[in-house]
Chains A and B, each alone.
Chain A
Amino acid sequence: MFDKMTYLDNSASTRLDERVMDAMKPYYFDTYAVATSEFGYSMGIDAKEGLQEARETIASSIGATPEEIVFTSGETESSNMAIKGVVAALKKKKGEHIIVSKLEDFAVLNTAKNLEKQGYNVDYISVDAEGILDLEELKSKIRDDTVLVSIQHANQEIGTLQNLDAIAKICREKEVLFHTDATHSYTRVPIDVSKTPIDLISMSAHTIHGPRGVGALYVRKGTPLIKWMDGGYQETDRRAGLENIPGAVGFAKAVELVTEKENEFLTSLRDYTIKRVFEEIPHVTLNGSKTQRTPQNANITFHYVEGESMTLHLDMRGFAVSTGSACFSRSLEASHVILGIGGDHERAHGSIRFTFGRYNSMEDVDAVVDAIKEIVSQLRAISPLYNKEE
């Protein structure tokens, strides 16, 4: 039917870069020992060095020191570790109240809901129509017993970027720890912990053409954190379990490969998509912010049509995208992000998320916009809502 799949769902997963694979290979076939102590055998020492170099790369990418980086299995583990680790450490000393935003990804949101069931108090801070956090509400909700504020950097669905400097400043002033899930901004939008007082950051390799199942948690020196998964003493006794050294090496390589130029290129793909859709297709709404937005994300609602129908038509023509429609979700619920920015079910229903990556081109954008133009008009022709409008 078509020669290749055009993958425009790069916030879900990305194609691995061959150079990442090349960097990882020696740690599967040659230097496959565990990272031993300095008194161990030589292969283990080599493995340890590989892990250490990877740690240094991740650390320097955010202005941290290597000891502040803990390798994990990805975003979900990093965020669980940060939130559950901090609340366990401060429960008796400070209190049982945490604050998150309404737009968090499930790793943070469902961790918060789980803690709520266990008796913790959770406040969910609102956002405006573009998805930007209400800083005044945040300020007003911080209490004496608040132990942690967890606000994402970039949103997974609509790409809205939060002002981390402002949030970190509020948290510092109120002496509350601040965690951010930076899965969807890491390396695409700079973060510098030597300038911004963030205490914990979740990162992942899978969004930047690195291996899946690898991530990291930045833990500022001195941050109280109780280890929540028991086992060995790896990662200076912060994360038990055999280190995924090839994964860590691949993650570091993936970080090195992201360039300023690439981020500018992704921004141009994003802007071109939005421009063409708005010029050529009527009744569309941009979800998220025009200016405070990650380079790789365009999220648009095509009114009067349903998202899963659009994604299936696109799939049959060789394009992979995602939608916030309830019909597409595993829980049959409309996107909490679109509802969180004040959208209704109808807006979530017709929303399509395009997320770009290294292997996309301007031609891909032209092809997908051409396709979606036809699909939307075909589906609107059979929509009872659209006909009423005419």
Chain B
Amino acid sequence: MKFPYTEKVLEHFKNPRNVGKLENPDGKGLEGSPACGDMVAVYLQVNPDTQVIEDIKFESYGCASNIATASIITELAKGKTIEEAKKISWQEATEELGGLPPVKAHCSVLAVEGLRAAIRDYEEKHGLVSEQEPTTVDVIRSRLKHVMNPMAGLDIIRTELVTKMEINDGVVRILIDLPSNHQFAANIKEEVMEKIESLWDVKEVNVVFTE
């Protein structure tokens, strides 16, 4: 029998760790991708003196990669301080799982973002966040590093799919080096929109494909 996933992915998928909810969590994150439809919720219990994540739980309305990544991330984050946990990347999670199919990278990113959202929520509730920064091309670039190129399993910045990024008066224009009828064009567009639209000072996002 051949499955499209590693043994470890299948193991975490079948028996996900730290599943469920925490009552009165110190931090809670809910991330969803309208493009894929997956959602992941992460709940944290943090020791206020040491900032160590003492308990963590997740829920997933997602595919196998999403469930397996969320599961491994809870294992990686448990016992770490929130500063350490912030640094857990999808690459790290993916490596820990023995790899994921490139086309599934975005599902794994979503799980990581669930954890980051929960940490952000904890920081906001505990007065640990700084002022909102205005959106610049650098901010856009760092956001787009979380949009996956399904052909490569790496983000669209690193794989040079983004050829231009502009922001003028809250209007963002992003050029993608793919034809508009490409197999993944619709998916990439939705993911880009989702990442940029939510920035506090962005009014409009235009994703433009090459012909």
Contacts and interface: CB of A to CB of B under 8 A. Distances in A.
Interface of A: 1, 113, 117, 304-309, 312-313, 315-316, 325-328, 330-334, 345-346, 348-349, 381-387
A312 B61 CA distance: 14
Contacts of A386: 61
Contacts of B64: 308-309, 312
Given A331-B187, A333-B187, A349-B37, A384 B10 contact: no
Contacts of B5: 312
B187 A382 contact: no
Nearest to B106: A332
A85 to B, nearest CB: 22
B23 to A, nearest CB: 12
B19 interface: yes
B60 A383 contact: yes
B35 interface: yes
Contact of B35 (A113, A306, A326, A382): A326
Given A309-B63, A384-B60, A334 B3 contact: no
Chain A contact residues: helix, strand, loop or mixed: helix
Interface in B10-29: 10, 13-14, 16, 19-21
A315 B2 CA distance: 10
> Which size class do B's interface residues fall under?
35 or more
A85 B67 CA distance: 48
A385 B39 contact: yes
B187 A332 contact: yes
Contacts of A333: 186-187
Nearest to A348: B37
B37 A304 contact: no
Interface string B181-192: 101101100000
A312 B37 contact: no
B62 A306 contact: yes
B139 interface: no
A325 B21 contact: no
Contacts of B63: 306-309, 312, 325, 327-328
Contacts of A325: 37, 63
B37 A309 contact: no
11 contacts: A113-B181, A305-B61, A306-B38, A306-B61, A306-B63, A326-B187, A327-B62, A327-B65, A382-B60, A385-B39, A385-B61
Contacts of A385: 39, 61
Interface of B: 1, 3, 5, 10, 13-14, 16, 19-21, 30, 34-41, 58-67, 103-104, 106-107, 150, 181, 183-184, 186-187
Nearest to A334: B37
Given A382-B58, A384-B61, 12 more contacts: A304-B61, A306-B61, A306-B62, A307-B63, A313-B14, A316-B10, A316-B14, A327-B36, A332-B184, A346-B37, A348-B37, A387-B59
**From B63, B106, B150, residue with most partner A Cβ within 10 Å:** B63
Contact of B37 (A327, A330, A383, A384): A327
Contact of A382 (B19, B183, B184): B19
A145 to B, nearest CB: 24
A348 B58 CA distance: 23
B118 to A, nearest CB: 12
Nearest to B148: A332
Nearest to B4: A312
Contacts of A308: 63-64
Contacts of A332: 35-36, 103, 106, 150, 184, 187
**From A1, A304, A306, residue with most partner B Cβ within 10 Å:** A306
Contacts of A334: 37
B187 A383 contact: no
A306 B41 contact: no
B171 to A, nearest CB: 27
A384 B19 contact: no
A385 B38 CA distance: 11
Sort A-B residue pairs by CB-CB distance and give the 9 closest, nearest first.
A327-B63, A384-B59, A308-B63, A332-B187, A384-B41, A349-B37, A383-B61, A345-B37, A382-B19
A305 B104 CA distance: 18
A385 to B, nearest CB: 5
Contacts of A305: 61
A333 B191 CA distance: 12
A348 to B, nearest CB: 7
Given A1-B1, A113-B181, A327-B36, A382 B67 contact: yes
A99 to B, nearest CB: 20
Contact of A306 (B14, B16, B37, B104): B37
Contacts of B41: 384
